[in-house]
Structure 1
């Protein structure tokens, strides 16, 4: 029933995957205090190299992008060297790996970078406190200036270059799940009245600038993007968001990216202004390689791919519980059930 998941898939002329099963990005907060990947992380990723492609846990592009403890970076030489051990382990075991480039925007906290401004499209705070560190409440962010935006675009491109230097096969730009790029794409978090806000073209401008800068630096064939058309994390939905993503997806269609990846925890969620599921909406508006995600079993994903709902499937928590997930799918072996206790160690 899952044979199609095990078929090779060509992302483009330069990157071929051994199967259609991707390991989804999974924040583990296991880097050292300098945000350098550890040997345990190298072993963790190396054990999962049978995935057609691993997308790394989100990797912050600069210090003020950090919103969680011990999340790895890609902005120092030591971090690049640490990631090289990870990519070497994956490649040694026959796998491929993309780095997910991340700035958390208004979900960042000055505790992690020694004070200073939290950056966001608009000075609109997130309610609540930092996961795993509940004593830290979110701050009112600074609305980024044009100079800030110019520098952020450069920093995304530099992080992409650092990723290639670290041995990654490409990058996925994190434009989803309520983080910085996604904050520009939704009316609830973007209340600007300049050329980065107010309408679909303006609100898409930052995301497209980042995509174009990264693609120019490392090649479009090694550049991917994750998006969340349905607002569901740290922001309220707005029917006007549909126009933003209609415009953005049309622009992305013109760019020959490695893939587009849905950002959703559960793809059974439906959004009135998208006419249903986020994945269905994107598939209707984007014809190139699409990665589905969101609590799919192997069997459900196989059916969805057979029905042309998406081309590849990203699997999250089951990969934490089952380093040999692909082998278990191939052999029809029962999966080990995921439990939250598994988050406290890398196995």
Structure 2
């Protein structure tokens, strides 16, 4: 069994530990889509992670899911991220950009454009705008030629990301966004080569990944998936077979990693582990036990990390624990208690609840392990 604090290699990178900071939307970009100095501070504070994964970053205007997000839609936005990647590297860290096309999970008040999706089916869900959360609108169906254009958008944004100093990219194929919408059987009602059968429903994900590999190299490309999570009003018929077929096809591309949310039964995830021969990141938050929490899953902890390492995961991603614990690796290593983040500041903007959480050395906590 691997130890959480052992090194691991992905692509050309040697990670000093197996702790990954999961991608989390913090909505701290400028109104015109630029990364900020505070964002550079935020990620640099957490550079002791084996790997940092950025907020979801839109690859183009129509793919912008939320207000307040820094983009990779053009060269100016990409250049604004350089202060982030420079700060992380100065702190000894490594960072991937998560490329997130919102598809139908966008809003015209954010982009000036009607959102697009596989089919004209609105999500029974909320989207984040400058005015707060509002019902998701009805999207415009992508024409066949436009589907290829949107797959290529991931590749174009990835080139800009690498040029801006990111060590690699992660395609966001989870949580109800565009790739996940094509995988779906209720958001995707197409009758062409992108809909209906499993082979057709996985086609967009594979084409987006292949285009990105061609753009920046396989060792710089990962993908995040959430089998059966149901977020963004997604239903996936034949879910185990769907994701098995997808991983088989992605395996031919020799991606750096697959990042799975533990959103399905353990046996399904273990089967996917067996089918995937490269690095596997698991986010152990259990979407099967949502309870009454507005955010659903319980957070990843050391016990769940060790459990999944024992089952064959290579790396473990931590989401919410990283919000209030910039030195999470050290706290886990020393067995220190974890601070709780203030939910009200998740998308509030500004530095409060963003870069003002102290490291344990500044709190007077004593080592217990």
Q: What TM-score do the two structures reach when normalised by structure 1?
A: 0.91
As a proportion of its length, which structure holds more helix?
Answer: 1
Secondary structure at the residue paired with 1:287?
A: coil
Contact between 2:65 and 2:106, CA under 8 Å: does it hold in 1? yes
Matches within 5 A, 1:217-256: 217-256=215-254
Asked if structure 1 preserves the Cα contact closer than 8 Å seen for 2:47 and 2:91, the reply is yes
Which of these residues, 326, 330, 343, is aligned with residue 329 of structure 2? Answer: 326
- CA, structure 1 residues 146+90, in 2 after alignment: closer, same or farther (shift >3 Å)? same
Deviation per residue, 1:40-93 (Å, 9 max, x gap): 000000000000000001000011112211011001222112100000000000
CA contact (8 A) 1:59 1:71 kept: yes
Following superposition of structure 1 onto structure 2, how do residues 211-222 of structure 1 map, counting pairs within 5 Å?
211-222=209-220
Deviation string 1:228-255 (CA, Å, 9 cap, x unpaired) is 2214112253442333222111111222
Paired residue secondary structure (1:213)? helix
C-alpha separation in 2, matches of 1:227 and 1:168: 21
Structure 2 contact 65–127 (Cα < 8 Å) conserved = yes
- TM-superposed CA distance for 1:282, in Å, is 2.3
User: Aligned residue for 1:187?
Assistant: 185
Could you say which residue in structure 2 is the equivalent of 1:203?
Answer: 201
On the 8 A contact 2:58/2:65 being kept in 1, the answer is: no
Which of 279, 286, 302 is the equivalent residue of 1:298? 302
The verdict on how the C-alpha distance between 1:241 and 1:191 changes in structure 2, with shifts beyond 3 A counting, is: farther
Structure-1 separation of matches of 2:228 and 2:244: 12
Q: Is the 8 A contact 1:321 1:342 kept in 2?
A: no
Aligned-partner Cα distance in 2 for 1:8–1:129: 39
Partner Cα distance (1:78, 1:300) in 2: 40
Q: 1:4 to 1:108 in 2, by over 3 A?
A: same
In structure 2, which of residues 166, 169, 183 is the aligned counterpart of residue 168 of structure 1?
166
Q: Distance in 2 between matches of 1:254 and 1:72?
A: 32
Q: Within 2, Cα distance between the matches of 1:258 and 1:99?
A: 13
Residue 75 to residue 246, structure 1, CA distance change in 2 (3 Å): same
CA distance in 1, matches of 2:2, 2:197: 44
Asked if 1:127 corresponds to 2:124, the answer is: yes
Alpha-carbon distance in structure 2 between the residues aligned to 1:236 and 1:78: 34
Q: TM-score normalised to the size of structure 2?
A: 0.86
Identify unmatched segments of 5+ residues in structure 2. 286-298, 356-369
RMSD (Å) for aligned C-alpha atoms:
1.8
C-alpha distance in 2, partners of 1:334/1:135? Answer: 33
CA spacing shift, 1:200–1:341, aligned 2, 3 Å? same
Note if contact 1:230-1:278 (Cα within 8 Å) is conserved in structure 2: no
Aligned equivalents of 2:164, 2:82: Cα separation in 1:
5
1:148-202 deviation line (CA, Å, top 9, x unaligned): 1121122111100000011000000001111000100011111110000110111
User: 2: distance between equivalents of 1:131 and 1:75?
Assistant: 19
- Counterparts of 1:57-76 in structure 2, within 5 Å, are 57-76=55-74
Q: Is the 8 A contact 1:101 1:171 kept in 2?
A: yes
Structure 1 spans left out of the alignment, 5+ residues: none
Q: Distance in 2 between matches of 1:113 and 1:236?
A: 23
Q: Secondary structure at the match of 2:202?
A: helix
Match of residue 307 from structure 1:
311
Q: Distance in 1 between matches of 2:264 and 2:205?
A: 24
Match of 1:286 among 272, 276, 279: 276
- 1:84 corresponds in structure 2 to 82
Q: Contact 1:6/1:330 (CA < 8 Å) preserved in 2?
A: yes
> Cα distance, 1:136 vs. partner?
3.8
Bigger mean CA offset, 236-245 vs 91-100: 236-245
The 5 A counterparts of 1:95-106 are 95-106=93-104
Distance 2:137 2:304 in 1: 40
